[in-house]
Amino acid sequence: MLRKPELFNELWAIVMQNEGPLSRRAAWVADYCAEINPGFLENRLEELSIKVNNFSSDGLKRYALRMLSRSVLPVENLGYLVDACFKWLENRTESVAVKMYSMVILG
């Protein structure tokens, strides 16, 4: 459990910057924080489902999809996420983890 849950807001801002290894590492931490306390993702799922399509790093996509796969997905703007998942499944160069979480979400 986080001793200072308000720090999650700062961590989330780093994830959403989509910049180099820092965002990827922040996503790893955010993913595990949200696994322990799913309430951290409250009011953030729609933003994540829209922005995941633009993430540049394989690791960033993987952690974002992992967070989304454990959540009740918002109906609004779900098309962006579904489109990205199908695109990644068709892409021969996409990582196995991204494809696997795409299948979980689509299922």
Question: What's the domain range around 58?
Answer: 7-106
d(CA 11, CA 26): 6
94 secondary structure, DSSP code: S
At 46-58, the pLDDT tens digits run 999 999 999 989 9
In a domain, 48, yes or no: yes
In a domain, 1, yes or no: no
Burial class (CB in 10 A: 0-12, 13-18, 19+), 59: middle
In a domain, 33, yes or no: yes
pTM for the complete prediction? 0.90
The pair of structure tokens assigned to 22 is 């820092």
At 67-82, the pLDDT tens digits run 999 998 878 778 889 9
Number of domains making up the chain: 1
